[in-house]
Amino acid sequence: MGRLFVVNLEGKIYSCTYCRTHLALCEDVVSKAFQSRHGKAYLFNKVVNVTVGEKEERHMLTGMHTVADIFCVGCGSVVGWKYETAHEKSQKYKEGKSVLERFKLFGPNGNHFWVGHGPHGAHVAGSDADEA
């Protein structure tokens, strides 16, 4: 295994909830209107400090896509997924972009959304309005 180099971003950043490794800049957010199994998710033009898992076909809300889970290089947690191929013409804009799940992010203003460990995995959160 090679040496691990972690990129430290400057400015308003999103980082991993678990280890605070930098993942993305606010300016790289394409959309905050995405959904994951656990709630809100954001689409980014560029993310850093992640490794990409195996490609797989997934049926999502917008159709069939080839995606790969992405993992934080700091702690190994799955933090989202990367769109490799969109099978619908209207979804091609997603190709090469990554989605980070909101509850796995520490926001640029110190905001933290997380999924509780209770029986229902309740969302404990504030508002995204501060991060616009």
Domains observed in the chain: 13-106 (2.170.150.20)
**CA 42/CA 100 separation, integer angstroms:** 5
Instruction: Check residue 61 and give its pLDDT.
Output: 86
Instruction: Check residue 113 and give its pLDDT.
Output: 56
Instruction: Check residue 132 and give its pLDDT.
Output: 39
**CA 114/CA 117 separation, integer angstroms:** 9
Ranges in the chain, pLDDT < 50 = 114-132
Instruction: Check residue 57 and give its pLDDT.
Output: 97
Q: pTM of this prediction?
A: 0.82
Which residues sit opposite 14 in a β-bridge?
24
Inter-residue contact 86 to 92 (CB < 8 Å):
yes
Instruction: Check residue 112 and give its pLDDT.
Output: 66
